[in-house]
Chains A and B, each alone.
Chain A
């Protein structure tokens, strides 16, 4: 249904940035690995290319920083790592997300 499709699309867009920050927040990670990890999140079906402009924006905003490293398997790889500012924002975003999901869960229990 159109309304459903539009709603899920908008929701995914908003959540995608949070997911990317969480992947980078766990460990220093190669760009392609971020895409592979996000593939495993079933409900987060996105065009994989969407992730790279977001990474570029996060870097420009100073939330992640990148380093190029030689790889034995081919050309140099770009690794992403969280900055201090990124860590702070991620903590705030996760706290907001937890509050939101708790609230929604509460509403759903009351509805039942």
Chain B
């Protein structure tokens, strides 16, 4: 596999480059005749060769000239070669001012909220439709504008649930001590006062998990940007490290308190 772009870019240029490369992959995804990953690597190589002699750091306007010559990725392959599902999506959002997909997203969400047992299925379905809407607008380099009020609610709801699960799921088994049988076991093991030692234990587990999670987030930065797209475009190592430091602080304080309680 070819190495990632090794140029030194300003933050704005880096952000524009990553956005462009995402557009490349999104535009070419699903074409049976084209390997989207291969083309993305070729485009990286092209940009690197074009800017090899430019003084560092490469600025956004300098990079913009190269991207301008490369052109919009959704014009690289003819519409006829699009896979059927993408043709449907493109046709649904055919006009430059078209709102159909955005309305479809909102309709799925609202119907999902109103319907009983089938509701979650429709709410879940609204998420890929919302992302497809944004991806198509992104491909066309068209601003989301007021359509955000129709599209973002589905994404905010889904991402909120994902974030909750990410941050609190590993803590849940410890927090389940509200259950009488678990509580009885813990009471026998934890030093008194129970409320203090128990809350310190929960905080310790949470702190250790957040430290681990923060480090994982710095390692898998692109996964975070992809999962929480388009809200996490500016996510970088610093944000992950902040989560890790917060976790470390919580774990340390909880550990000290727990040790103090144990000593009596």
Taking the nearest CB of chain A, how far is it from the CB of B50, in angstroms?
A: 8
* Interchain CB contact under 8 A, A55 and B42: yes
* Interchain CB contact under 8 A, A31 and B46: yes
Majority-rule SS of A interface residues: helix
Contact of A56 among B6, B39, B72 (CB under 8 A): B39
| Residue with the greatest number of chain A CB neighbours at <10 A, chosen from B28, B34, B49 | B49
Contact of B48 among A13, A60, A75 (CB under 8 A): A75
Asked if A35 is at the interface of the complex by the 8 Å CB criterion, the answer is: yes
Residues of A within 8 A of B43 (CB): 49, 52
Residues of A within 8 A of B78 (CB): 13
Within 8 A of A (CB), among B28-85: 28, 31, 33-35, 38-39, 41-43, 45-46, 48-50, 52, 69-73, 75-78
Asked if B178 is at the interface of the complex by the 8 Å CB criterion, the answer is: no
Asked if B2 is at the interface of the complex by the 8 Å CB criterion, the answer is: yes
Asked if B3 is at the interface of the complex by the 8 Å CB criterion, the answer is: yes
A53 to B25, CA, bound (A): 11
Residues of A within 8 A of B72 (CB): 47
Asked if A106 is at the interface of the complex by the 8 Å CB criterion, the answer is: no
| Residue with the greatest number of chain B CB neighbours at <10 A, chosen from A49, A50, A60 | A49
* Interchain CB contact under 8 A, A53 and B46: no
- Number of residues from B at the complex interface, CB < 8 A: 29
Q: How large is the interface on A (under 10, 10 to 19, 20 to 34, 35 or more residues)?
A: 20 to 34
* Interchain CB contact under 8 A, A52 and B6: no
Taking the nearest CB of chain A, how far is it from the CB of B264, in angstroms?
A: 62
Knowing A32-B49, A76-B2, A78-B45 touch, does A49 contact B38 (C-beta < 8 A)?
Answer: no
Taking the nearest CB of chain A, how far is it from the CB of B23, in angstroms?
A: 10
A59 to B39, CA, bound (A): 11
Q: Spell out A's residues near B (CB within 8 Å).
A: 13, 31-32, 35, 46-50, 52-53, 55-57, 59-61, 68, 73-78
